[in-house]
Amino acid sequence: MVLRGLSAIAVVFCHYPFELHHWLPSAGFFASFIGSRLDWLFNPFGYIPVLIFFSLSGYLVTLGFFSGRHNSTSAGGLKVYYRSRALRILPLYYFSIVACALLYWPLAVQSPLRVAQLFIFVENYKPAHGIIFNHVYWTMPVEMLYFFVAPFIYWALKRCNSIAKDWAIFGGLTVLFVAIAFAIFHALPVEYGAFIVDRKKWSLMARFDFIYNAMAFVLGGASVFIVKNKNYHAFFEVNRRLIKLVTGILLVSIFAYCSTWGLVQLNAGQLNFFIAFGLIPCIALVVMGVAVLNETQRIRYRPYADYGVKLGLLSYGIYLFHMPVFDALQKYSASFHVVMTGETMSLLALCCTAILSYITYHCIEKPFMKLRLSRGI
């Protein structure tokens, strides 16, 4: 939940105009040598937190089948599973579409069919003409497609783990991902160790591609068989501090590299090989490391982590609402001739997003989660 909450905030920072050096004195050591070099902390590569969401979803959905919460081999079990996913994902998503239609009313009136298609995940899948509103909707068709095929993927992973070691399966899936990525990108010209492709074309080729992104879910799901293997638990517990250190370094290194040099290349029309071939497997390793730490954690409650858990509970709402809230504040501040810096506007929008997410969590998400529990799903 903490990782999910931090990922939601990272998406917000990606879309909001935060820059660290604007918060520091305009001159001096901090502004010149620290602020500008750490701006990436407030302007991360937004694809990374999305991949964390995907890999976490793959892990948690597979864990539901692995633990026996859901049954992937019977019609009744599949019905219960699909109903559970629908009750968890659709209510807040549909509410956000209605809210966005009201906010962008002139655009919604001009294109009612496109708005309607959002409800069935057609409008926001590989939209060459752009999503009608709220860019983050591009992830929803990918997630829903995965949730649809997840029971069958779990069945395949279980069969594979019955005939091969779990680490071999994870490695084989990584090789399969590299092959898929090569099939997608191989026709692109290469220069100086990077593919030549503009950002929009990369979005249509990779970010909106279900099979490419599905490997983040699948690798996250394959991690369950490693994390839950009792033969490894003694090793995990003995090396817990090392696993925590390696996982933290890997996560920070991914963000730092992709949010600095990776973004510079992407803005210049280049996609480096690590982002194309290595990013998704590395994110899956981070999720696996966090899952191992959770599995071996003896103290289940830490007061300082409670805020991170609460943030994780609000992460879905934060993800869906942060861009419309920012647009609404810009619109109304301009109407009332209120002048604010980008950082001030961003802080205000973040606070409003958190409040809205809190309200919708308790008024929409939580009632539907209770409905799931009341029906035993």
Could you list the residue range(s) of the whole structural domain that residue 363 is in? 302-377
Report yes or no on 38 lying in a domain: no
305 pLDDT higher than 60? yes
Report yes or no on 32 lying in a domain: no
Say whether 272 sits in a helix, a strand or coil.
strand
pLDDT in tens, 192-239: 889 999 988 898 888 889 999 999 999 999 999 999 999 999 999 999
Q: Are residues 198 and 261 in the same domain?
A: yes
Q: Are residues 271 and 324 in the same domain?
A: no
Identify whether the C-beta of residue 251 lies closer than 8 Å to the C-beta of residue 286: yes
Q: Are residues 126 and 202 in the same domain?
A: yes
145 pLDDT higher than 60? yes
In the structure encoding, which two tokens stand for residue 363, read together?
Answer: 């008024």
376 pLDDT higher than 60? no
Strands 190-191 and 194-196: antiparallel
* Count of structural domains within the chain: 2
**Final residue of a structural domain among 244, 274, 298:** 298
Q: Where are the alpha helices (DSSP H) in 240-314?
A: 240-257, 263-267, 273, 279-295, 303-313
Q: Are residues 177 and 222 in the same domain?
A: yes
User: How many CA atoms does the CB half-sphere of 123 hold within 13 Å?
Assistant: 20
Q: pLDDT tier at 26 (50, 70, 90 boundaries)?
A: low
Q: Are residues 283 and 358 in the same domain?
A: no
Q: Are residues 272 and 326 in the same domain?
A: no
Report yes or no on 28 lying in a domain: no
* SS3 readout for 311-329: HHHCHHHHHHHHHHHHHHH
DSSP-assigned letters across all residues of 168-194: HHHHHHHHHHHHHHHHHHTTS-EETTE
21 pLDDT higher than 70? no
84 pLDDT higher than 90? yes
**Final residue of a structural domain among 277, 298, 319:** 298
Q: Are residues 212 and 357 in the same domain?
A: no
301 pLDDT higher than 70? no
Report yes or no on 227 lying in a domain: yes
Report yes or no on 82 lying in a domain: yes
Q: What percent of the chain has pLDDT over 90?
A: 70
Report yes or no on 175 lying in a domain: yes
Report yes or no on 271 lying in a domain: yes
pLDDT in tens, 337-372: 888 887 889 999 999 999 999 999 999 999 998 887
Residue 79 CA to chain centroid, in angstroms?
26
Identify whether the C-beta of residue 91 lies closer than 8 Å to the C-beta of residue 364: yes
Average the pLDDT over 68-88 and give the result.
92
**What pLDDT was estimated at residue 207?**
85
In the structure encoding, which two tokens stand for residue 229, read together?
Answer: 């293997």
Q: Are residues 276 and 138 in the same domain?
A: yes
Burial class (CB in 10 A: 0-12, 13-18, 19+), 181: buried
Q: Are residues 191 and 306 in the same domain?
A: no
**What pLDDT was estimated at residue 34?**
59
- How far apart CA 157 and CA 256 sit, in angstroms, is 33
Q: Are residues 88 and 174 in the same domain?
A: yes
Q: What is the pTM of this model?
A: 0.93
**Final residue of a structural domain among 276, 298, 320:** 298
In the structure encoding, which two tokens stand for residue 267, read together?
Answer: 């803005």
pLDDT in tens, 257-278: 999 899 889 989 999 999 999 9
